Amino acid sequence: MRAVEEKAARAYRKRFDHEPELIASAPGRINLIGEHTDYNGGFVLPCAVGRRVAVAMGRGGDELYSTNFDETRPMSGEKDSSWADYPRGVVWAIGETGHGIGDFRAAFAGDVPLGAGLSSSAAIEAATALALDALFGLGMDRKELAVLCQRAENEFVGVGTGIMDQYASLLCEEGAALLVDCRSLQAQSVPLDLDAAGLALLVCDTQVERGLADTGYNDRRAACERAAEALGVEYLRDARAEDLENLSGEELKRARHIVSENARVLEAVEALRAEDYRELGRLMYASHASMRDDYEISTQALDAFVELAKEAGALGARLTGAGFGGCAIALLPARVADALARETRARFAERGFEEPAFYEFVPAAGAEVAR
């Protein structure tokens, strides 16, 4: 078992004085390319990261314990704007699908950094959903669980995100990225062996508070919906580059990002399959520029990291996730990763940015029942 899984099991024993019946875990994610395309019915290419949320579970009782917050909360239908709303939301969403589950208690442990844009919330949802499915023999498949987790996030927690994070957490495979068509909800693994190419992916957490993230996210979403309506398509996924002539102002900029980003995801998959990392890198830089100039979700620190990556010889770099802070990634020769991290720390300090954190990236396995 992984360290976080052992930790959840220990916490369960200590807290509830019993052996857990089951232990499951689910990862956070980075997105290689395809940002804000999910709620536009488009394509995304995320990868699970090596950091996970684990849950130890058993039937009976009604308590949820978190080692991260060192607190117990009731497993009730009432929200309290805490971490416990995610597992509660999953239970609610399972009920909405018509499945019945009994009482249970659970202990959570995790090492996905919170609020960094690596989807700790999807990880807690995915771990809970997989564990409940196994514990109560619901027989749901991974895609159904992912859709249910998104519903928990949208309708119970009340955050209007797309499907990417939950899909990544439940469906990613070790050593691969996951291409998702967010309209048909079909997904396929795309092998990603950076080691063999002498490459690494450095994750830079700018540690910037994503305070305005929710309003920013909802504003972007609303602008996309207006643009789709103006073009007479259900999703911007169906708009073509030439259709953009019929838009102006904010809608034009937002739609231009979505239309070009969707095309870049498919090109990136081709590049990955051909092991053409230069091309993948070029697409990543283009994606960042589009998010900075057209989607307007970057920050000074994220832009600075992308520039420093370029100077250090990275093949590509871009912000990853919702934007407005959070993380950026750089694809670069493994031997220069440490130097880029050092340089970024120094330059961020000079410019008065928050001290960044760096995470090692390996394309990890999706959610698993560990025992």
Binding positions for ligand GLA, rule: CB under 6 A: 35-36, 38-39, 161-162, 164-165, 321-322
Q: Are 301 and 208 spatial neighbours (Cβ–Cβ below 8 Å)? A: yes
Handedness of CA 183, 256, 321, 210 (dihedral sign): negative
Which sequence positions are flagged as catalytic? 165
Measured CA to CA, the distance from residue 253 to residue 208 in angstroms comes to 25
Residue 4 CB, nearest distance to ligand GLA (Å)? Answer: 21
Hey, what are 26's tokens? 């689910």
Report in angstroms how near the CB of residue 25 gets to ligand GLA at its nearest.
20
**Residue 199 DSSP SS3:** strand
State both tokens at 4: 């976080």
Q: What is the smallest separation between the CB atom of 321 and ligand GLA, expressed in angstroms?
A: 5
Q: Of 321 and 325, which CB lies nearer to ligand GLA in the complex structure?
A: 321
- Closest approach of Cβ 82 to ligand GLA, in Å? 19
Q: How much is the CA Rg of the chain, to the nearest whole Å? A: 20
* Residue 257 CA from chain centroid, whole number: 19
Q: Give the span between the Cα atoms of 345 and 343, in whole angstroms.
A: 5
* Distance between CA atoms of residues 220 and 328, nearest Å: 19
By beta-carbon proximity to ligand GLA, the closer residue of 180 and 192 is 180
Smaller CB separation from ligand GLA, 135 or 301: 301
The whole-angstrom separation of Cα 254 and Cα 35 is: 12
